[in-house]
Amino acid sequence: MGNGFKERRRSRRFPTKLEGRIVPRGDAPLLECVVCDLSETGVRLALCENGELPLEFELEIPDEGARASVRVIWTNGRVVGAEFI
User: Could you read off the pLDDT of 34-48 as tens digits, one per residue?
Assistant: 999 999 999 999 999
Query: Per-residue pLDDT tens for 5-31?
Result: 455 656 788 899 999 999 998 888 999
Cα 30 from chain centre = 14
Question: Which residues on neighbouring strands pair with residue 15, listed in sequence order?
Answer: 37
Domain assignments of the chain as residue spans, ordered by start: 14-84
pLDDT at 12: 81
Q: What is the pTM of this model?
A: 0.83
Higher pLDDT, 54 or 3: 54
pLDDT at 68: 97
> What kind of fold does domain 14-84 have according to CATH?
Thrombin, subunit H (2.40.10)
**Residue 7: phi, psi to the nearest 5?**
-70, 125
